[in-house]
Structure 1
């Protein structure tokens, strides 16, 4: 196998790895968006207060 063949094979492997990483990143982004959308649909919980609200609650205690 010549140097040119080795270079082409390595280049193809690197391209394929790049595609796989891009696909994984795309899937993770879509998954994160779905989770964010699900969180938006749920009512706010007590532990998700705004920082100022927590400060006031701590100060009153």
Structure 2
């Protein structure tokens, strides 16, 4: 086997490893994608609650500063 053949064989092996690694990464990304809606809902709910709390605080401060 010549040098060129050895190099090509090594390149094929590295390509195959790359394809396997890419498949694993895609699989993991797919699993995360399935889980993200469950996790994603909690921050949105908390975020909405924070906004509501902030609005209430602003109204309370306004009411205290500008009593009618």
TM-score (norm. length: structure 1): 0.63
Which structure 2 segments of 5+ residues have no match? 59-68
For these two proteins, the number of residue pairs brought into alignment is 51
1:1-61 pair list within 5 angstroms: 5-40=2-37, 42=38, 44-47=41-44, 57=51
TM-score (norm. length: structure 2): 0.57
**Structural RMSD (CA):** 2.9
- How much has 1:38 moved relative to structure 2? 1.4
Which structure 1 segments of 5+ residues have no match? none
Moved over 6 A (4+): none
